[in-house]
Structure 1
């Protein structure tokens, strides 16, 4: 990390091309965890920092860390849940399009901050730099959010669901949770004891995930386009396909059953946001990225383009192949139903769902990788107990303390008794995340007008940031206007996720 002496004047004068040269100088004088900066000395502490682990992440690794975080369980699990909430294919697909646009506005927000302050820590670093008073407020806010809500439980659950489906096991909820806990434990041990091996494994699983979504989308479109003349498909799964008249929706039918409720749309858009979340994942580990500013800009925009295209193709493939009634009742298993209908009981029921499970495991790996380092940055502030121990990289040269801090709340969420725990987790995570979005959005406007001296290699489109802010504020209010379906669960049922998020 940069020294605390005579560095602040460099802040506004440093260009993106200079970051690497500064980092090369810093690499010879990397500050150890034991010599933490004073939390108040923020201005001198925003220069690019070389991690004690070194700048080892290339463009390819940074892309995989980002795209693997984005392409998690969302596209394999949420489309069915979203369609069940909003009632019609038209409204569901509209929300995915709106979500992609808003994801770009949110990405532009984190890009401006990340290029301006190219250090690990993500929103923690940005909020601490922006909001200096009351002292420690933003540090504690982000630490609380990260530690209590920075879990990877949802993808662990999807992994267990798809493994059960693939091997035709009608197991208990306890068994599913046991598998999810075992997965998280194994991944934590890999990242803790075999850091380089963990990076290679998550890179490999990331490419599997990309290939899976491309294959799924292409196969769905292929079957629909050629099935009238292809009834002799080798796996003989054509009998499982819906009648052709089910595929020819009228415009009215496309919107039939739409639930235009503020509450229903809000919970659905939160799930879409969850599917796009992770575009700023690389912001959490910029200290380990080679040429951080240039890599950040290209990797995140490439990841957004990749995810948007794949999500559009996957949603169309689902709706063309799986009957709408089955989509609405599929829960998290919509991809499994799709594969079974297209490829039959052998390949579609077993092999491909296992690949989906491995994709979910890959997502758990990259989230654990990034959030452990964010927790390590939080520990280095000295604001949590045992900060010196938790910020250490001993004994295996990995963020062991950050991994432990990440592991404990994830295990608690996985083991608590609950009903539809998957949807609830997504809603709580998404709701609390809107508070951070609002703080970052207002902070960016404030810095634009009050700190014009700061060097900004990337500038966000301010009207887009304004739209992002407006939507975030609306989503914070939405739970208090539940749909009729949500009211059936009782008033608390529709607002419970918001109350948990507010409490945190």
Structure 2
């Protein structure tokens, strides 16, 4: 007969929690997405503005979540906050979207990025190496490697929180030091600086448009943008920066395994998001120093960090940076996999998800929840490109962030006397600004990129009938 633990074991301190925040945030995005951001906005000033706006939104959201995590220091995080602020349906829609797209598609995108940079060292596992063709579906060696990575990390995390904690701390520490080193050396060692040339573009926003009649070697032209079109371009650009800055809330999902959660979750959210925001902004300043704007926009296969390393260290540096990015994505996916299953566990305890996901194994982790997450993420590895996954994830995740922060206002009225070890910084002004920015982003993203943003919205809405089906099943059980 299988052994089962009765509850989670609090074994993560403040440093561990901060490593989960930072490690889950820093995956593949910072090394890739600036290429597409530059195509969308076309100037140094607006490129950095995209990262500053995203950083502001991320830190405001994180410190706002500090209030909620102090009120509800239990496994499940955002699912619990939405359930308590609104109703069980709101919580379920988040949990369903989390399983169907938010967490699983993020795991898939990061795993695909791991494969992309592994293929720089081992070409046989590249995206162009097709192993199997099933009608229109082509399965590449990179997709297979991504799936194997997800399976391996899932298995590791079924062995208990301790192993996942060790992997997270080691890999996050390595990538933080490596990124800081790369940024510093990008200013000290580069032979030719493009700083002045790039900043001459100032805040003159330009959009790269494909043009069959254009004579430009890249088959298109740069066109000036302003007004409403600029807001749309920023929304399009921010789908990448928001994806890169997402998953900071993963630490709230494992609240049941954190020591002194009322203090440490809120503090780790602030420290982790602040560290990562500083790294992201300075990394993009480094890109502007070592590469011309055109090369940033058109980095081959979006391997922006690799060509930056070539400019800093020569050809050998590219191999070093590829290994560094493999370490980064490996550690990021470990954090995502570790934290995500705790949401399904809490949903199952509410009778709104598969009953088996609410059971802990002998190592005090929700093993079945980990494996179904693994299955969904593996399926998503086979669908869409990296950029498509970004658009789908970014729309859904920002929509739920806005709703959750709106929940702070609702809970202040519903539960005015509840214990709040932290209070949302800048309340009510900063949370309101966040909600406005978030909804503006969602509206313009679905206008600019309707296909995958629309798919994301559709996935959320399919949760409505699923909720009532789950409630009926619960009543008849």
TM-score by length of 1: 0.79
1:263/1:480 contact within 8 Å kept: no
Partner of 1:172: 129
How much does 1:190 deviate?
1.0
C-alpha distance in 1 between matches for 2:12 and 2:294: 45
Determine whether 1:329 maps to 2:293.
no
Q: 1:465 to 1:378 in 2, by over 3 A?
A: same
1:212/1:356 contact within 8 Å kept: no
Partner of 1:477: 443
Q: 1:250 to 1:160 in 2, by over 3 A?
A: closer
Partner of 1:378: 347
Determine whether 1:288 maps to 2:236.
no
User: Larger radius of gyration, structure 1 or 2?
Assistant: 1
C-alpha distance in 2 between matches for 1:142 and 1:296: 20
Partner of 1:56: 11
How much does 1:481 deviate?
3.8
Determine whether 1:408 maps to 2:378.
no
Give per-residue Cα distances to partners, 1:407-447, cap 9 Å, x unaligned: 1221111012x3xx111111111111122123223221122
User: Does the residue aligned with 2:253 lie in a helix, a strand or coil?
Assistant: helix
Partner of 1:487: none
Partner of 2:189: 223
Aligned length: 419
C-alpha distance in 1 between matches for 2:159 and 2:242: 33
Partner of 1:144: 96
C-alpha distance in 2 between matches for 1:437 and 1:166: 38
Partner of 1:233: none
User: Does the residue aligned with 1:57 lie in a helix, a strand or coil?
Assistant: coil
Unmatched segments (≥5 aa) in structure 1: 1-31, 35-50, 228-240, 483-493
Q: 1:424 to 1:342 in 2, by over 3 A?
A: same
C-alpha distance in 1 between matches for 2:197 and 2:302: 24
What are the residue-to-residue correspondences of 1:125-274 with 2, within 5 Å? 125-132=80-87, 136-149=88-101, 150-151=103-104, 152-167=107-122, 171-172=128-129, 174-193=140-159, 195-224=161-190, 227=191, 241=192, 244=193, 246-249=194-197, 252-256=200-204, 258-259=206-207, 260=225, 261=229, 262-274=231-243
C-alpha distance in 2 between matches for 1:117 and 1:201: 27
C-alpha distance in 2 between matches for 1:374 and 1:123: 8
How much does 1:257 deviate?
5.0
2:41/2:237 contact within 8 Å kept: yes
Determine whether 1:118 maps to 2:73.
yes
User: What is the aligned-residue RMSD (CA, Å)?
Assistant: 2.1
C-alpha distance in 2 between matches for 1:480 and 1:363: 27
Give per-residue Cα distances to partners, 1:252-311, cap 9 Å, x unaligned: 423445244333211222322222222222111111111112112321211122112211
How much does 1:480 deviate?
4.8
C-alpha distance in 2 between matches for 1:148 and 1:480: 19
2:263/2:421 contact within 8 Å kept: no
Partner of 1:82: 37
How much does 1:113 deviate?
0.7
Partner of 1:100: 55
2:81/2:91 contact within 8 Å kept: no
User: Does the residue aligned with 1:249 lie in a helix, a strand or coil?
Assistant: helix
C-alpha distance in 1 between matches for 2:258 and 2:178: 27
What are the residue-to-residue correspondences of 1:303-314 with 2, within 5 Å? 303-314=272-283
Unmatched segments (≥5 aa) in structure 2: 131-139, 208-224, 460-477
2:79/2:92 contact within 8 Å kept: no
1:147/1:405 contact within 8 Å kept: no
How much does 1:81 deviate?
2.0
How much does 1:398 deviate?
2.4
Q: 1:445 to 1:397 in 2, by over 3 A?
A: closer
Q: 1:253 to 1:475 in 2, by over 3 A?
A: closer
- Higher RCO, 1 or 2 (CA under 8 Å, sep at least 6)? 2
2:23/2:172 contact within 8 Å kept: yes
1:103/1:276 contact within 8 Å kept: yes
How much does 1:462 deviate?
1.1
Q: 1:251 to 1:75 in 2, by over 3 A?
A: closer
How much does 1:395 deviate?
5.0
1:363 to 328, 332, 335: 332
User: Does the residue aligned with 1:184 lie in a helix, a strand or coil?
Assistant: helix
C-alpha distance in 2 between matches for 1:332 and 1:180: 18
C-alpha distance in 2 between matches for 1:249 and 1:372: 47
